[in-house]
Structure 1
Amino acid sequence: MGLSQALSTAMSGLRATQASLSLVSSNVANAETPGYVRKTLNQVTGTTGQYGSSVLITGVNRQLDEFLQTQLRTETSGAAYADVRSDFLANLQGVYGNPDSTGTIEDAYNKFLTALQGLSTSPESQSARIGVINAAQSMAQQLNATSQGIQTLRANAEAGISDSINSANNALQQIARLNVQLAANGGTTDASTAALLDQRDRYVTQLSQLMDIRTVTNSQNQVSVFTNSGVQLVGTEAATLSFNAQGTMTPNTLYNTDPTKSTVGTITITFPHGGTYDMVSTNSIRSGKIAAYLELRDNTLAQAQTQIDQFAAAMSSALSDKTTAGTAATAGAQSGFDLDLSGLQNGNTIHVSYKDNTTGLTHNLSIIRVDDPNVLPLSNTATVDPNDEVLGIDFSGGMSSVLSQLNGALGGTGLQFSNPSGSTLRVLDDGAVNKADVTAASVTSTVSSLTSGDPHLPLFTDNGGLYTGAITANGSQTTGLAARISVNTGLIGDPSRMVVYSTNPQTPAGDTTRANLVLNQLSNASYSYSPQTGLGTSGAPFTGTLLNFAKQFISQQGESATAAKQLADGQDVVLNTLQTKMDSTSGVNMDEEMAHLLSLQNAYSANARVMSSIKQMYDALLQLT
């Protein structure tokens, strides 16, 4: 080995040591920098002449476990989803309140029942009558406040989506920018490239908090980001996400896969070279904060609103809806019933039971009055009873139109409908053919007057109007009823109507008929509730008293909040465990860096010593000449 060869080898060692010292310095300086990955030098042996080997620097290595990084991003999405749900459900539980405390639906309802018990005992007492009205107002106000609290949470979820979309777009644009810079470096792995990769990974991690993603990296260090459903978000160019926030949230602002019917914001992706895609209707985002916000806004909180709306509707209908059995009627060999439709309101129901003698099956038919033909035909979900066969009939064209619709829809069953006089609807079997037998018929109509002569009364109203369960093109009247429910102003102006239900003849002041009816309907009577409340199923709906229903859905919300908190805590443990693993693999360990620094100092000194010795040899040769 010549002296020049030895000098070259020693100089390569010095250069490698200096480069390593620079990386150690960078590692130490960034020990607390989030997302910083520890760097080391890639060194290989190089041949120098016939003897010995120099050291060559081939690049900078990031101490990164890519499999662990992928797991961490997946759990980051899951933890963000779980945390958002846990926070919102805890707040929803706050809206409902502690069941054992005051200011809750259950507390207001119990006080309402207590006031009714007092009225039932002392119907002639003015203070007892006023007490019932005040308790009813408190009940209505509690439902109003609960609905407002739920809609505030839905508005917060909508705002969360909007903020998340802005953050996602920023991350996507930064990833695309860094992809272009990395491609310009030609796939090299020097220190500047490693720094760019660190920056890009931080933005990808930010994106993973917002939605579930997967990444693919090419030979030029460029990364393409996709959702787990396969939608490409960014490559060399970034797609753009947009969210058309709708402003104020109300119980009637609901998501629908049909964009013409949806009244809440949706997320649309616009691809760099054209084309758009609805990310919500296609369920393209399945985890992360955005998925949690969508789930809460469109399902969890919407269901909570449905629960209190159903409670308000059942409470209102229990007091105002009166079912009147049909009067037996015959016409020759035909038999059936006459039904008085004079009090039938939009949304009220005619019930007809008939036996199909061909099959031996009994059919329960619910004929619902509809004044808006745009909602026809109605589905069987228009009633809660799973055995009901629902038929919506447009009453806007008068009785002749009603008869035409009924006979057209049900003529094949053997039933025949007619109008013998006034507002009477007659339903008969087919007589001699005897294809069907009408076994029962009744009308459930909403009492509109406080002094109709019947103890039923519209104690609660829909923002001053009658609640009948009407179905229109805007949806069911039940939707949002809890936000609009109020006490009948006629009762507020004259509390005696809590007892007096007839003025001719005059109901005695001490009559308990109406008070007992109201108390029984609200404390003992059992009702069925829509499976859209999350209780029961379409085949076996939840059935119970109003108080049982309230306790059930409040308890369900409490259990959901507890389960969400446990899930979030579990996800956080998994995430923290993976983050600790990631830090031990890719983070900076100061002890290791200091030990490495001492090793580099020794190597630097040794290489410098070799160069010093070579200098002395050169000096000796020069002196000989």
Structure 2
Amino acid sequence: MSLGDALSIAMSGLRANQASMSVVSSNVANAETPGYIRKTVDQVAINTGSTGTSVNVAGINRQLDEYIQAQLRLETSGASYASLKSDFLQQLQGIYGNPASSGTLEDTFNALTSAVQALSTSPDSQSARIGVINAAQAFAGQLNSMSNAIQGLRGAAETGIADTVNTANNLMRQIAEINNQLRTNPLGGTSTDSATASLLDQRDRYITQLSQMMDIRVTFNGMNQATVFTGSGVQLVGNEAATLTFNAQGTVTPSTLWDPQQNVFTLGSLRVGYANGGSIDITSQVKSGEIAAYLEVRDKLMVEAQNQLDELAASTSKALADKTTAGTVITPAPAPQAGFNLDASNLKNGNVMRVTVTDVLTGTQRHISIVRVDDVSVLPLPNSTTNDPNDTVVGIDFSTPGTVIAQLNAALNPYNVIFTGSATSINVLNNAGFSTISAASVTTTQTALTGNGVELPLFTDNGAAYTGSISASGWQITGLAQRLTVNSSLVSDPSRLVVYNTSPTTPSGDSTRVDYLSQQLNKSVFYYSPKTGVGSTNAPYKGSLLSYMQQFTSQQGAQAQTAKQVADGQTVVLNTLQKKFDAASGVNMDEEMAHLLALQNAYSANARVMSTINEMYSVLMQAI
């Protein structure tokens, strides 16, 4: 080996040591920088002259564990989803309150029942009457405020989606920009220089931040360029970034709901748009991350909470105001045509006639609920309309009275039921040899304070009667809790809490009506819609007003607690993965210091070789 070869080898060693020390210095300086990946120098051996071997710096390596990184992004998305969902459910739990504390919905309901019971013992007491009115107003006000707060949370979710979409678009644009910069990487492939390695760190940070917002999947090509897809496979980023759009709809109310049918939804929809003008709706496809949590809060969790309150408001109103009248028995000759006459003169949109039919041949008994509908566009009605799983529901359009009997016969022909009469006086008759009418009744909503029995319209739908009406513009029950008010006529004249007849006038000390109200509040039983999250379609919850209230309040508490436990669990998993990732790809100061010491020794050795060669050259020059 010549002295020139030796000098060349030592010089290459010094250059490699200098590059390695620079990388170590960068690692130490960025040890606390989020997303920084530890770097090492990629050194390759090369031949020098005929016998020597030197070293060359081929690039900078990122010590990245791609598998752990992919898992970390998956758990980052899951943790963001779980944490945000838990935050909203904790806020909802704050709205419902602790059942044992004062000022809760259960507390105001119990105060109402207590006030009614107090009036029952002193019907002629003016203060007791006013006490019932005040308690009813407090109950309605509690439902109003809780409903407003729930819609406020839905509105916050809608705003949150819009803000998150803007952030996601900025991240996607920056990822695409770095992808394009990587096309000019002079080393190509997976080898990088220092500047390119920094770009890759930056891009990985952006991708991880994007994973907080939605579930994503990432692939890489031979130029280290990343292509980002949604979890469902819709491309978000390549050499160009797609654009997420979200058309926030402003004020959120109980009747503003999202629906996959584009001509139905009344809330913002999430879409991916491309430069060629195409777009894809991904609202129902996002399964994790902050956006998924916001969508679930807006479209499911808070809608379910609103349904719970609406069902309570509707059931309480109906318990006090609805009057069920059994049909009048018809016994004409011949006897097989016997049946019942139903007085439908006071039947209102949403009110129900119930018929029990027994099949003569099989003995099978069927319960049929006939719902008055004044808007034919909503027909046919689903069986879930009455919440009773045993009901067969038939909607009949009463907007054209002359066709009501024909509609009834056509709709119920499969059950061998015969109808005659008119829209206001309906006869439901046996069908000889096929069916027997076992029972029939009409349930109507009372709107007058006197003259129609002890039933009392204590609560109204913002001044109008609550009848459960159904129309193309929506079902009356939707948002009822937000609109529930105490009947203004009762507020003006509390004596009507006791006086239910004016000819003759009910004595001021008569407790008949008050006893009825107390019984209905405490003992009336209803089926509740599975849309409340209580019960199921095949087995809906059935119970009193108080038991139903306790059921959904308890359920909300359990849901909030479960969500918190899931969020805490996700945080533990995320932190564990982060530690593994840091151990594999982060900077360890002890290792870097040990590496730096080894580099210093190597640098000294190369410098010593160069010094020795210099001395040898000096001796040779002196010998000449």
TM-score between the two structures when normalised by the length of structure 2: 0.98
Q: Residue 439 in 1 paired to residue 426 in 2? A: no
Structure 2 spans left out of the alignment, 5+ residues: none
Q: Runs of at least 4 residues of structure 1 off by over 4 A?
A: none
* C-alpha separation in 1, matches of 2:326 and 2:263: 42
Match of 2:338, SS state, is: strand
- Matched residue, 2:416: 414
Q: Deviations over 1:393-432 (max 9, x none)?
A: 111111x211121122223433221216x8211111234x
- Matched residue, 1:613: 612
Query: How far did residue 52 of structure 1 move?
Result: 2.5
Q: Residue 237 in 1 paired to residue 240 in 2? A: yes
Is contact 1:453–1:503 with CA below 8 Å preserved after alignment? Answer: no
Query: How far did residue 578 of structure 1 move?
Result: 0.8
Q: Deviations over 1:101-141 (max 9, x none)?
A: 12110010011111011001000000000000000000000
Please tell me the residue identity of whatever aligns with 1:324: T
* C-alpha separation in 1, matches of 2:297 and 2:83: 12
* C-alpha separation in 2, matches of 1:179 and 1:220: 9
Is contact 1:231–1:284 with CA below 8 Å preserved after alignment? Answer: no
* C-alpha separation in 2, matches of 1:392 and 1:17: 86
Q: Residue 256 in 1 paired to residue 259 in 2? A: yes
* C-alpha separation in 1, matches of 2:417 and 2:61: 84
Please tell me the residue identity of whatever aligns with 1:289: E
- Matched residue, 1:26: 26
* C-alpha separation in 2, matches of 1:213 and 1:277: 16
- Matched residue, 1:534: 533
Is contact 1:455–1:517 with CA below 8 Å preserved after alignment? Answer: yes
Range with greater deviation from structure 2 (27-36 or 49-58): 49-58
Q: CA RMSD in A?
A: 1.2
Aligned residue pair count: 619
* C-alpha separation in 2, matches of 1:127 and 1:214: 68
- Matched residue, 1:95: 95
- Matched residue, 2:406: 404
* C-alpha separation in 1, matches of 2:204 and 2:328: 78
Query: How far did residue 361 of structure 1 move?
Result: 1.6
Which of 207, 218, 223 is matched with 2:210 structurally? 207
Match of 2:594, SS state, is: helix
Is contact 1:78–1:288 with CA below 8 Å preserved after alignment? Answer: yes
- Matched residue, 1:17: 17
Is contact 2:373–2:469 with CA below 8 Å preserved after alignment? Answer: yes
Is contact 2:446–2:452 with CA below 8 Å preserved after alignment? Answer: no
Range with greater deviation from structure 2 (109-118 or 610-619): 610-619
Q: Residue 217 in 1 paired to residue 220 in 2? A: yes
Query: How far did residue 613 of structure 1 move?
Result: 1.4
* C-alpha separation in 1, matches of 2:38 and 2:276: 38
* C-alpha separation in 2, matches of 1:184 and 1:118: 85
Please tell me the residue identity of whatever aligns with 1:27: N
Is contact 1:254–1:264 with CA below 8 Å preserved after alignment? Answer: yes
Aligned ranges 1:512-531 → 2 under 5 Å: 512-531=511-530
* C-alpha separation in 2, matches of 1:566 and 1:237: 40
Is contact 1:330–1:428 with CA below 8 Å preserved after alignment? Answer: no
Query: How far did residue 550 of structure 1 move?
Result: 0.6
* C-alpha separation in 2, matches of 1:559 and 1:344: 41
Identity of aligned residues (%): 58
Which of 375, 379, 404 is matched with 2:378 structurally? 375
* C-alpha separation in 2, matches of 1:98 and 1:389: 39
Which of 272, 278, 291 is matched with 1:275 structurally? 278
Is contact 1:341–1:425 with CA below 8 Å preserved after alignment? Answer: yes
- Matched residue, 1:158: 158
Please tell me the residue identity of whatever aligns with 2:291: I
Match of 1:184, SS state, is: coil
Q: Deviations over 1:20-59 (max 9, x none)?
A: 1111111111111110111110112111122231011111
Match of 2:33, SS state, is: coil
Query: How far did residue 452 of structure 1 move?
Result: 2.2
* C-alpha separation in 2, matches of 1:558 and 1:346: 36
- Matched residue, 1:592: 591
TM-score between the two structures when normalised by the length of structure 1: 0.97
* C-alpha separation in 2, matches of 1:453 and 1:371: 24
Question: Could you say if the C-alpha distance between residues 382 and 453 of structure 1 is closer, same or farther in structure 2, counting changes exceeding 3 Å?
Answer: closer
- Matched residue, 1:126: 126
- Matched residue, 2:289: 288
Query: How far did residue 330 of structure 1 move?
Result: 3.5
- Matched residue, 2:108: 108
- Matched residue, 1:551: 550
- Matched residue, 1:177: 177
* C-alpha separation in 1, matches of 2:276 and 2:35: 32
Please tell me the residue identity of whatever aligns with 1:288: G
- Matched residue, 1:575: 574
- Matched residue, 1:59: 59
